[in-house]
Amino acid sequence: MKEVKECIYELSKKLVVKEDIFKKNINIYLAPNRNEFEYLILNILKINIKMPTNKGRIAQPQRTDLILLCPSAYGTDSIYKYNFDDYKRLLIHEMVHMFHEHLSVDMENIARWFSEGIAIYLSKQNEDEDEFKTPVIDGVLDNKIPTIEDINNDIMLSYDWGWSIVKYIDETYGFDVVLNIVRNCGSDDVIGFISDDKGGFENNWRNWLLDTYKIID
């Protein structure tokens, strides 16, 4: 619980949120196994998701509710091994989604790469966890950088590459621009929202990726 409070405090600062978006009330459910996890998603969040759920799925946020698969079930019911630091980053990741849902003009339609990208970037999963880091590093080294259109249209690519675009926007345009997207962009054309020259943006992002992640020997 201490971690949750810290996390809400840090994210409020980072995302410049003055109000208490949870109104002092955040519900975190720890499901003891995958059956219960699915039951809670269906009956508490009332979200219709594909059943049975994938073993890679261990958290589902909605508004002020967050359902988590309890780490004690990781061995049998997930593809993950429990580690305290990973778990803290997972909490931050899910709470970024909760803040985003609260702040966004239209969370349903925003590009998936942006919502996952910012959750991965702000929780620093891309720095500390291979699962998030390697697809970009390998892609750059193998000269297999997808186009932004491909990323826009593919959920896997959104998870793999989204954070690199968010990081690029933060480093090049500043975090205020990232915040402006969080609050005011409600479409899948995030690049068009911030730039009139989408081709130029894409080229610069590619070059930045090559500069940042290519190991030259």
* Residue 84 CB contacts under 8 Å (≥ 6 apart), including other chains: none
DSSP-derived pairing of the beta strands 65-69 and 27-31: parallel
**With binding defined as CB under 5 A, does residue 178 bind Zn ion?**
no
Phi and psi, residue 163, nearest 5°? -60, -30
Helix, strand or coil for residue 66?
Answer: strand
> Is the C-alpha dihedral spanning 123, 2, 74, 30 positive or negative?
negative
Size of the site for Zn ion (CB under 5 A): 2
Residue 26 or 201 with smaller CB distance to Zn ion: 26
**With binding defined as CB under 5 A, does residue 95 bind Zn ion?**
no
DSSP run (H or E) holding 65:
strand 65-69
**With binding defined as CB under 5 A, does residue 21 bind Zn ion?**
no
**How far apart are CB 56 and Zn ion at their closest, in Å?**
11
Beta bridge partners of 31: 69
Residue 60 or 201 with smaller CB distance to Zn ion: 60
Using the contact rule CB under 5 A, the part of the chain among 16-24, 50-58, 119-127, 200-208 near Zn ion is 119-127
Q: Of 73, 90, 98, 119, which one interacts with Zn ion (CB under 5 A)? A: 119
Residue that the structure tokens 């826009």 belong to: 152
**With binding defined as CB under 5 A, does residue 98 bind Zn ion?**
no
Q: Say how many C-beta atoms besides its own lie within 10 A of residue 79's C-beta.
A: 11
Using the contact rule CB under 5 A, the part of the chain among 45-53, 109-117, 129-137, 171-179 near Zn ion is 109-117
* Residue 162 CB contacts under 8 Å (≥ 6 apart), including other chains: 112, 113, 114, 115, 116, 117, 118, 120, 151
**With binding defined as CB under 5 A, does residue 90 bind Zn ion?**
no
**How far apart are CB 39 and Zn ion at their closest, in Å?**
21
**With binding defined as CB under 5 A, does residue 165 bind Zn ion?**
no
Using the contact rule CB under 5 A, the part of the chain among 28-36, 82-90, 115-123, 160-168 near Zn ion is 115-123
Residue 181 or 201 with smaller CB distance to Zn ion: 181
Using the contact rule CB under 5 A, the part of the chain among 31-39, 63-71, 118-126, 180-188 near Zn ion is 118-126
* Contact by Cβ (8 Å): 66, 81: no
**How far apart are CB 14 and Zn ion at their closest, in Å?**
17
Applying CB under 5 A, the residues found at the interface with Zn ion are 116, 119
